[in-house]
Amino acid sequence: MRVDPAGFDLAVRDGETVFEAALRVQARWPTICFGQARCTACAVRVLDGHENLGPILDEERNILRQLTNRRRGWSMRDTRLACRLTVTGDITVEKRAARPPSAESAEISDSEEQVR
Instruction: Tell the smallest beta-carbon distance from residue 16 to ligand FES (Å).
Output: 14
User: Residue 1: CB partners within 8 Å, gap ≥ 6?
Assistant: 9, 10, 11, 12, 18, 49, 87, 90, 91, 92, 93
State which residue has the least CB distance to ligand FES.
83
Q: What mask of x and - would describe binding to ligand FES in positions 53 to 82, judged by CB under 6 A? A: ----------------------------x-
* Residue 22 in contact with ligand FES, rule: CB under 6 A: no
Q: Are 17 and 43 in contact (CB under 8 A)?
A: no
Query: Which of 37, 44, 87, 98 forms a contact with ligand FES (CB under 6 A)?
Result: 37
* Residue 38 in contact with ligand FES, rule: CB under 6 A: yes
Query: Which of 35, 53, 74, 92 forms a contact with ligand FES (CB under 6 A)?
Result: 35
C-alpha Rg value of the chain to the nearest Å = 14
Nearer to ligand FES, 44 or 100 (CB): 44
For residue 97, how far is the Cα from the chain centroid? 11
- Tell me the C-alpha distance between 29 and 112, whole Å: 22
To which H or E segment does residue 58 belong?
Answer: helix 58-70
Instruction: Tell the smallest beta-carbon distance from residue 11 to ligand FES (Å).
Output: 19
Give the residues lining the site for ligand FES (CB under 6 A). 19, 31-33, 35-42, 81, 83
